[in-house]
Chains A and B, each alone.
Chain A
Amino acid sequence: AQSVTQLDSQVPVFEEAPVELRCNYSSSVSVYLFWYVQYPNQGLQLLLKYLSGSTLVKGINGFEAEFNKSQTSFHLRKPSVHISDTAEYFCAVSGHRTNAGKSTFGDGTTLTVKP
């Protein structure tokens, strides 16, 4: 089984500042990792994913994340945020060849970008 911990429930930040949203996971098998974003009144959409290969993954809207196997982390970063990045962000993990494509989601981090 897998579990995910998003270490911050709310992150306030000023526009154009850098941001990091933290995610730690646990798993007994190799994992795939995902970050999703949910804007108000919308469904979740994929920001980026790590399946294999380079541990630094780039996604949409200037976000990137780094898979750190030794620290079991997959933190999301953006060097300069915009007002439009205000949303809820979910980290998710699935195990290789387990659970029939089911991901386990974290509780979410609300990012609020202030002018």
Chain B
Amino acid sequence: DAGVIQSPRHEVTEMGQEVTLRCKPISGHNSLFWYRQTMMRGLELLIYFNNNVPIDDSGMPEDRFSAKMPNASFSTLKIQPSEPRDSAVYFCASSSPEGEAFFGQGTRLTVV
């Protein structure tokens, strides 16, 4: 397996634009997670899915953020409209039933 695949690796966008981050989890993993990492706040869990169903989205910072998982092999995290304070590295991870997490390489988002 190629591991968790995220795209794009880098995204630079203007304030107010819509941003969509994509993730392909490891085949067979039933849980998928979206994290955000910044110097100020560290690693934050935004939302996680189990069997394609959102289980806990309490970490989503505001209504501008939304996430979907239409099937077991694809998830998106959307920010609309984007703001400079959304600049961060966004990680997607999928996990084994025991909770061993496999992270993607991340998407570095810069909102100018």
Contacts and interface: CB of A to CB of B under 8 A. Distances in A.
Given A43-B105, A102-B48, A32 B43 contact: no
Interface string A71-109: 000000000000000000010111000011111010110
A100 B50 CA distance: 6
A27 to B, nearest CB: 12
Contacts of B102: 46
B106 A101 contact: no
Contacts of B106: 42-43
Nearest to B4: A43
B99 A94 contact: yes
Contact of B99 (A44, A102, A107): A102
B50 A44 contact: no
B27 to A, nearest CB: 15
Contact of B103 (A45, A51, A100): A45
Nearest to A105: B43
A101 B43 contact: no
B92 to A, nearest CB: 9
Contacts of B99: 32, 34, 92-94, 99, 101-103
Given A43-B91, A103-B95, A108 B43 contact: yes
Interface string A6-28: 00000000000000000000000
B75 interface: no
B38 interface: no
Contacts of A34: 99-101
29 contacts: A32-B100, A34-B99, A34-B100, A43-B91, A43-B105, A45-B103, A46-B100, A49-B98, A51-B98, A94-B98, A99-B99, A100-B31, A100-B48, A100-B50, A100-B55, A101-B30, A101-B31, A101-B50, A101-B96, A101-B97, A102-B33, A102-B48, A102-B55, A102-B95, A103-B99, A103-B100, A105-B43, A107-B43, A108-B43
